Chains A and B, each alone.
Chain A
Amino acid sequence: MSAPVLRPSFGRTMFASLRLSLHMFLADPQWVIPSTIAPVMFALAAFEIYRGSGPLLILYAVLGAGMMSMWGQTIYGSGWAIWQDREFGTLEPTLGSPSSYLGVIGGRVIWNALSGLLGGAIVVLVVGVAYGQPLPFQAPIVFGLLFAFVILSLAAVGLVLASIFVYTRYAGFIQNVGEFAFYIGTGAMFPVILLPFWVTPFSLVFPPTWVIDALRYASIPGYHGFAWGFTGDIVGAVVTTALYVGIAASVFRRVERHVLEVGNLDEY
């Protein structure tokens, strides 16, 4: 009867969680649509405004809208990653298993970043169709790599948010305010240098700010972003992303203890 002691690896937990997210998504795939409506509208509006200003500005605006969709997915999905388990009442069986809960959330955050990518692709596709020709992407390989990095940096922020949301009942409030502030603050919609000077330090706290700037340097010839340029952006992005992952990991170590002490695992 007594089986050998089993304990899943971190990778297995993460993969199982990613797979669960995929199955949940496939059960109701239509929810991806509402989350892409706003970014598509923004992209189309930007397209109209910049119509006469040449393809590069259009690309600029479209990238911003695509980013907006990805960010929307990430903050929404990751922020709710734990809340979802509370709502379903699945947090207790999950924590009661020998798996690491950070692995479970990690899998979900990766899923959300991936589905954000899908949203971003939809935005680019819709605008490409409206524009009548493919958007003029430069250096597609660098672009692809940077895009993957954007996802990673978004996931890192998502992870921190997910753990913070365990501590607060005001997750919904933070999320709504945060979502909007984030679009502006990270320069997803407008270049950060257009914002009041005091915003910049706040913006630089978020890894995506750096990556988005690097992305624009790489894809828009003649782009003027942060003074430190492409390389500075990459360094900043790596450092801030690592910082976020570190914060998330240390917060998570305390999260479990916290929920066991408070005993509100099954409330939502």
Chain B
Amino acid sequence: MAKTAIRIENVRRVYSSRKGFLFQEKVESEALKGVDLTVDEGEIFGLLGPNGAGKTTLVKILATLLLPTSGKASVLGYDVATQARELRPHIGLVLGGERGLYNRISARENLRYFADLYGLPVADRERRVEEVLRKVGLSGEETRRVEEYSRGMKQKLHLARGLLHSPKLLFLDEPTIGLDPKSAREMRKLIRGLVDEGVTIFLTTHYMFEAEELCQRVAVLSKGRIVARDTVAGLKRLVGGDRTIEIESYGLDGPEVARLKALPGVSHLTSEDFGPRERVTLRVRGNDLTHDLLTAALPGHRDLSVRERPTSLEDVYLDLVEEAPE
């Protein structure tokens, strides 16, 4: 039984901001509406969710940069709200993006500064800075100003900074956002390497394939609530159906869609307008549903197009997010 690295119990977070100038109006928005989650030591856990779901909010709470409005969260046994000082030396946070670095100075000076802030022994500092630079593949670029760095290089530098003090647990908020496919692949390889070294990783992403490729377990966050949490395989079973069938045609009416839903093995159905045509997507369990049964359910549709493919995590994710309550 693995030890628990992160425990989140009923965490809520409300942001309040002000609108207007003289007569300010207080606006409140609830970014997290009671989140429960546990992450084991040594695993790589993925938090999936669309824009505005609350992923960054949750990561910041866990990384002691934001206080929960209510609820409790502990990381490596430390309470994030009351034991932040004790926790900070053990965790790393990579928020990524264009900001968050001192652009006017070199990458090496950036890392030296943060090595000092993390209290690395002075005698080890240079060695450790070179080490993390090598690890993320920035050796040879360390004397250039960060403002000359490409997006991908900055992302690597963010990761290098997060690794300086050899944290036991690393939070990665959308580590591959804005990276070209090649750089994103390199980044994922780096992340896998870290897990092999025993680092626990909590990462957020929009990309299903990324979670599918990297994570043992994932949770889906939508509108501030966890709508699913499971292994990748379990998640696919959860929404049901290892087969996905897409049907496109002109003018599929209500009774016809209802007939499709009643077909054997169909566990889930979504329909959307697709230009002048309509597309119905079915999640199907087992092999009872045949092509003949399908066409029989839609008599008179000569223009029918039917495509079948294995259900991907992407499909599951979209189903979950669409069904999420307000």
Contacts and interface: CB of A to CB of B under 8 A. Distances in A.
Interface of A: 1-3, 5-9, 12-13, 15-16, 19-20, 23-24, 27-28, 88-90, 92-99, 104, 257, 260-261, 263, 265-266
Instruction: Enumerate the 4 nearest inter-chain pairs by beta-carbon distance, A residue then B residue, closest first.
Output: A89-B99, A16-B116, A8-B119, A6-B119
B291 interface: no
Nearest to B199: A1
Given A8-B116, A20-B113, A1 B105 contact: no
28 contacts: A1-B168, A2-B166, A3-B165, A3-B166, A6-B89, A6-B120, A6-B165, A8-B117, A20-B113, A23-B105, A27-B104, A88-B99, A88-B101, A89-B95, A89-B100, A93-B100, A93-B161, A94-B117, A95-B65, A96-B63, A96-B64, A96-B65, A97-B114, A97-B117, A98-B88, A98-B119, A263-B67, A266-B99
A88 B116 contact: no
B117 A92 contact: no
A89 B97 contact: yes
A207 B199 CA distance: 51
Interface of B: 13, 15, 57, 60, 63-67, 85, 88-90, 93, 95, 97, 99-105, 109, 113-114, 116-121, 145, 161, 165-166, 168, 197-199
Contact of A13 (B57, B66, B97, B116): B116
A28 B119 contact: no
B50 to A, nearest CB: 20
Contacts of B88: 96-98
B104 A28 contact: yes
Nearest to A260: B67
Nearest to A169: B18
A92 B109 CA distance: 18
Contacts of A19: 113, 116
Nearest to B94: A93
Contacts of B60: 92, 263
Contacts of B90: 5
A260 B64 CA distance: 8
B197 A1 contact: yes
